[in-house]
Each structure stands twice: as C-alpha cells, then as structure tokens.
Amino acid sequence: MCCVGALYASLHGHWRLAQLLPAALEKQDLSLRFEIVSLPERREASGGYYRFDARLLPGQCYGDQVCPPGRPKFRLNWYTDTPPQPGSHWQAQLRLRQPRGYASPGAFDYGRWLFARGYSGLGYLRDTPAPRQIRAGAASLRQQWVEQLRGALAPYANQGLMRALLFADREGISPVQWRQFSATGTSHLMAISGMHIGMVLSWGLALGWFTRLLVPHARWRLWLTLGLGAASATSYAWLAGFTLPTQRALIMAGSALLLLAQRRFASPWSAWSLALLLVLIWQPLAAHQAGFWMSFIAVACLIGGLQGMRTVGGHWQQGLRAQTVVVLGLVPVLALWGFGVSLWAIPANLIAIPAVALCILPLLIIGLIAELCPGVSAAPVWTLADQALGLMQRWLSYLAEFGGVWQAPVTGLSMLIAVVAVILLLMPRGVPGRLLALPMVVALLYWPAERPPPGRVWLHVLDVGQGLSVWAQTARHNLLFDLGPAYDSGFNTADTVVVPAIRRGGIDQLDTLVISHADTDHRGDSEALLASLPVARGVAGEPWPGQPETLPWVSCYHLPVWQWDGVVFRFLGSPLIDGGNNNRSCVLHIETGQGAALIPGDIEASREAALLARYGQDLASDLLIAPHHGSKTSSTEDFIDAVAPSVVVFSAGYKHAYGHPAEAVVARYQRRNACQINTAYSGTVTFELGDSGARVRNWSRRHRYYWEAKSSPPCAKAEP
C-alpha cells in the first residue's frame, strides 16, 4: 500500500512539474490564450489593477516546443480600469515567472503555497499588443452572488471580516487586523475550513432531525438528515469557492457521514484515518500546506484528549479543556511552520469561537438568504453581524495589547521534547509518568536561544526581495539594519520576513533599529515592526514621513563608536546633502578584531569617493553588503580595492526589473576573486564574523523542494 501511495504521489508530482513554466521563459513575452476562472479582484496599489486566476486553453504551448499537459493555472495581474468578465477567453502577451516567494526562516513560503494549490506561475498582461477577447464570458451564479454581496456589505465597518466568513474573500482584512488575530491565536477564524464547514453541517443535520417526522420510513429519515447536512456543508463550501481548505473539510465531513449512512459503529479514529486517506488521494500536495497538518492534528488531539470525558463538567469546562488540548497539541506544528503560539489563545478562542459559530456566522447566513430574497431587507441582519464582529474585535484588541507570542525553539531535540510532552499531557489522568511533562514544558519555555560567543557576530542578510534588511546578532545584543520594502497595498517585509526570522531565532526585543535612509525599500514599515517587537533605540540617516514618534531617534552621524560583547560598531562619514536620498544612507562598519563587515546602504559613487578620502584602507572588510544592491551607480573600482572583500552580498529581487546586480558590477568583483552571493538565489544567508573572517553558517535555499531549481553552496567557505 505504501508503494502504491508513493507511486501515485510521484506521478502527480511529475504531472505538476510538466505544467510548470520553464525557467528559461521567465520574464519573456509569451502570446497565450486563456480563460478567466475566478472573479477579478480590484487592487488599488500601483495605480490600480485587477487580479484573477486564469487557465490556459487546450493546446497552448510555452514558446514553440514546451506544451504542458492539462490546463495550467496562473495568477495574473491586469493594469486596467475595466474588470474582465469571468469565464471570458482572451489572447494576450503575458510576462510570467515560476511560483516563488521569500526564502527566510519563519517566513511564509509563497512559492510553496502557489505550487501546492495548483498554480504553474504568476505574472501580468502586457499592454502592447492590446489583449484581445476571443469569447465573451458570463459570471457564474456564485460570482454574481459574490458581486451582489460585496455591494451590500460595503457600508459596514467590518465588511472585510464579513466577506471573509461568507465567501472566503480575505482581501478586505487590514494588516492591523491580521496582527491582532495573530497575537491572539484567532487567525483560523478568518479562513473557512473545518470549524466553519462543521458548524454549517451541524445546522443541516439539526434541520433534518426536526423534519424527520415528515418521512414515514426510518431509513429514509436517516438519509434525509444526512442529506440535508451534506447539502448545507456543500453549499457553504461552494459559496467559498471550493477552496482547498473547504475541499479538505468536506472530505472529512463526508467520511463521517458515510460511516453513519452505513449504520456502522466506527471509532473516531476510523473516520479520522479515512478522511486522511481521501484527502491525500484528492490533494497529493496537501502535506505542503500548514492547514492540512493543523486540521488533522487538531482533530486528533480532540479525539485523544476528550474521549471518555464528554459528560464531565459543564459546557464552559468542556470548552476550556478542548481549547487547552488543541493549543498544546499544535505547539510543535506551529513551531515547525514558523508560527508563534499566542499566550492569550485560550481566553481569546473561548469567546471568539462561540461568537463566530453561534452568533456571527448564523447571522451572516441569514443575511445572505434575506439578501437573495426579493423584497426582503437584509440590512438589520447585516447590522447585527457587524456589531457582533465589532464586539469580538474589541475583546481581541484588549488581549492583543498584552502581547505575548511565544516562539517555540526549533531544533531536533526541542521538537522531540515538545511532542513527548504533548502526548503525556493529553493522556488520561492516572497514567504513570504523566507528570514528567511538567519539567519538559519548563525546559521548552526556558530553552536558550542559539547565540554567537563573545567576540563574534552573526550577520543574517534577510531575503526581502528588492530591498535590504540585515540582522546583526552578538552574544547579548541585537541590531537590525533596515526593514526591506513596504508597498502601497499594505504588504511589507517587516511583518512577513523580518519579525518571523527574529522570533525564530528566539529573540523577543531589539537593542537598536537602524533605518539607513528614507527609500521605501529600506525603511519599510517601521510601525509594523514596533507593533510586534519592542525596540530600545532608533537610528536613522534622515527623517521620513510617518516616522514613528513612539521611539527615540538619533542620527547615525551623531552616534559615537560603541562596543557590544567584544564587537565594535561604528557609523562612518557624513551624508552628501546634494546627493539625493541614496547618499544620505547610514554606513555601518562592524569589527570583531579579526574580521570586519561593511553595510553601506544605497550609497553611490560620489559618497564612496568621500569615504575613500576620509578612511582609505581602514574600509577593509571581509564581508561587504554591495552598495545599492549592486547598481551600476555604485561599487567603483577604487572602492572595491579599498574594501577588498572576500565575500560580497547582493540583496536583490529575483529577476527584478531593475536588473540588480549590474553585469559590470558583477565583473568588477569577479576580477578581484570575491565570492558573490545574491539573496534572490540563496535566500536568507547567515555569516559568522570572527577570528577567520566571514564564514557562511547557513542559507535558506540550502534545502529545496523537488520543483525548485538546485542551489549550490554560496561560497567555498560555506559550512558543510
């Protein structure tokens, strides 16, 4: 059986690989015909555009020779003012790339998410030649309902949350709200999955139970009850667009209903195992989704932790035990997937889950039915749902103010201890050895974070795409140099890359935050960082609009040399007032006595010349973060000669439009035998600066998935 499963997964993997856009055709213009298969979503960022999913029409090929099987799916952006019609067929010039995301510890892997959900790439439509419609489309019934509901919900303050709970449209949830859900362990409430489908299923079963007297035969009564339950759950999943989490929840619910329909006694573990098997048959790549592991392990914890105890205590006691069992059971899973564990998850969910399941979701379903009935006003119901969501938000906001997100240590030993402790804690009372879980929990809570020894520094050059963020870590102190980019859509790498990496390292506060200059790909979203991590001191090369006033800021040009744990930190030079934002960048020199690193921000040739005139050979460093991402306006021959780096790092976006690093700059470093690393291909790379200079400790793309290109060690000095 295992061999059959492995063969099936292997065949599916080969089929998905054949659908993938070839790497050689990335960023090239391809003339393709496709069908729009989702409702276009309006995005206001970058001047406004529409995002939608599209499938290639049969017989389409990438270029002249590569013809993928089936109908590959792509996520596309179209910079237009008029939304295309769902179901319409188009021919257009597309510029595509493979599924890819940030590769950094704790960061959400967008590329893995895309591939596991069936995407073969993403890109945008070119304006020249103009896209041509081949066949007009018509919105499906679901798409018509979704459009109607978007308009109906627009006046309400919590419309984004209402849309997420009704039809899985989470685009209206703000970054502030997501941080609040994350801080309270309630993000799962905004993703239609097992809990939501299970509640609607129970309503259908209850309706069937009340109408059973209308059917004379007992067997048909059972089928009526199960049929109404299945129809209710399926209808809700259909409204949510049959997303992969809802498909998974339907399979799990269907497994239980199937066993009930056969009037067979089956243990909960039998239903759980059947559901697991069916999900993996239907979704062979489900194991690459965090939701898959959380769903099945949460249910397993409830089965194991609550068996034989359903009648013990009142409803609140049972709810408290259920929440405790799930939170404890998910600790190892959350840690491995890079999520923190909220210390307020239990009280938050004790209120939020009943509120959503018993009040908010029923009101939304009633409002939906009223909205679709001619002559019936749904406004009073929408208002009640909006007010209920507002009250829940206040409760979560109150808890979030206390902070308290714990990142479990992720090592082989710590994960083994966590799993054993969870198993022991979930055992029934009276089991010998159960109390051994307590010292294990204490050990995990006080697990020491890995740190460099005194006199050395670890430099983590984070993969933030087209931007810069470097985390410097000594034995007892932490400095962060820049935050990477922030976009007008609200997306920022402080939330998605920087904070997860720091928390994954076991750090819960920063001693110094440096914002080198005001460009958005460096200053990022400092408010997002400060909302997640306390910072003692802010250092900046220049002020910028919206600079947080809650943090004391000093200029990097007025800061004297300081030392942390035997490591010397020094800001160099003064800004060139007439050189633009780039030449106002802070330039940080870090020295351990036997090794040095230079982080010059976005300085250009004129600022490099000023540094040479003032410091000369004192600029010499083993590790250099390439000025301005390797732009042709920086890294002059004289500057490179003075720094004489053995390793140079380009922090740049993958095949970005700016083309960093420039070919001429790469050639200059190559002529000097400097090892060159590009975070676009290595992901986050960590160096140890010590007695032997700069040594690569690790890089994120060291371990790859089978659909990703093979990565080689970034330097000869890389740790094996």
3-state secondary structure of 120: strand
State whether 439 and 478 are in the same domain: no
Considering the domain architecture, whether residues 569 and 540 belong to the same structural domain is answered as: yes
pLDDT at 717 over 50: no
Rounded-to-integer distance, Cα 548 and Cα 342, Å? 26
For the domain that residue 38 is a member of, what is the CATH number?
2.40.50.140
Determine the Cα–Cα distance for residues 588 and 516; give it in Å rounded to an integer.
Answer: 9
Task: Quote the domain boundaries for residue 534.
Answer: 457-702
351 part of a folded domain: no
| Environment class of 195 (CB within 10 Å of its CB; exposed 0-12, middle 13-18, buried 19+) | middle
Same domain, 425 and 500: no
Which of the four pLDDT bands, split at 50, 70 and 90, describes residue 225?
confident
Residue 515 and residue 609 in one domain:
yes
pLDDT in tens, 38-88: 888 888 877 789 999 999 999 888 877 789 999 999 999 999 988 898 899
Within this chain, do residues 426 and 568 fall inside the same structural domain, yes or no? Answer: no
CB 106 within 8 A of CB 151: no
Q: In the block, which residue shows the tokens 């933030």?
A: 464
701 pLDDT more than 90: no
Helix, strand, coil fractions of the chain, as percent rounded to 5:
45, 15, 35
Q: What is the pLDDT of residues 625-655, one digit of tens each?
A: 999 999 999 999 999 999 999 999 999 999 8
Beta strand 132-135 with 89-97 is: antiparallel
For the chain, how many structural domains are there in total?
A: 3
Per-residue DSSP letter, 597: E
Range 488-520 burial, b when 16+ CB lie within 10 A, else e: eeeebbbbbbbbbbbbbbebbebbbbbbbbbbb
Query: Are 87 and 140 spatial neighbours (Cβ–Cβ below 8 Å)?
Result: yes
Amino acid 213: pLDDT: 67
- Residue 427 inside a domain? The answer is yes
Q: What is the pLDDT of residue 719?
A: 41
Domain for residue 378, yes or no? no
Q: Is the domain of 135 the same as that of 55?
A: yes
pLDDT tens readout for residues 577-623: 666 788 999 999 999 988 899 999 999 999 999 999 999 989 999 99
In a domain, 166, yes or no: no
Decide which of 110, 139, 168 is a domain's last residue: 139
Query: Are both 433 and 529 inside the same structural domain?
Result: no
pLDDT of res. 718: 38
pLDDT, tens digit (0-9, with 9 covering 90-100), for 237-249: 998 888 878 888 8
pLDDT band at residue 179 under the 50/70/90 scheme? confident
Residue 575 structure tokens: 């800004």
Of 445, 469, 504, which one is at a domain's C-terminal end? 445
Q: CA-CA distance, 714 to 649, in Å (whole number)?
A: 10
CA atoms within 13 A on the CB side of 614: 11
Based on the domain organization, do 480 and 438 belong to the same domain?
no
Query: What's the pLDDT at 224?
Result: 79
State if pTM tops 0.85: yes
DSSP string, 220-255: HHHHHHHHHHHHHHHHHHHHTT--HHHHHHHHHHHH
* Residue 157 located in a structural domain: no
Are residues 538 and 427 located together in one domain of the fold?
Answer: no
**More confident call, 679 vs 146:** 679
> Which CATH number does the domain housing residue 606 bear?
3.60.15.10
Map 476-515 to HEC letters: CCEEEECCCCECCCCCEHHHHHHHHHHHHCCCCCEEEEEE
Say if residue 564 is in the same domain as residue 437. Answer: no
Contact call for residues 18 and 38 (beta carbons, < 8 A): no
Q: In the numeric block, which tokens belong to residue 85?
A: 């019609």
Whether 60 is in a domain gets the answer yes
> Same domain, yes or no, for 558 and 663?
yes
pLDDT, tens only, 115-165: 999 999 999 999 888 999 999 887 778 888 888 888 889 899 999 999 999
Helix (H, G, I), strand (E, B) or coil at 202: helix
Q: How many whole angstroms separate alpha carbon 466 and alpha carbon 628?
A: 10
Structural domain ending residue among the three candidates 87, 119, 139: 139
Q: How far apart are CA 448 and CA 236, in angstroms?
A: 46
The pairing of strands 535-540 and 341-342 is: unpaired
Provide the phi-psi class of 655: left if phi over 0, else alpha when psi is between -120 and 50, else beta.
Answer: left
Judged against a pLDDT cut of 50, whether residue 319 lies above it is answered with: yes
Domain for residue 236, yes or no?
Answer: no
- Comparing 91 with 290, the larger pLDDT belongs to 91
Average pLDDT over the chain, rounded to an integer: 87
Asked if residue 513 and residue 419 are part of one domain, the reply reads no
List, in sequence order, every residue forming a beta bridge with 588; answer none if it has no partner.
571, 599
pLDDT at 219: 64
Determine, yes or no, domain membership for 362: no
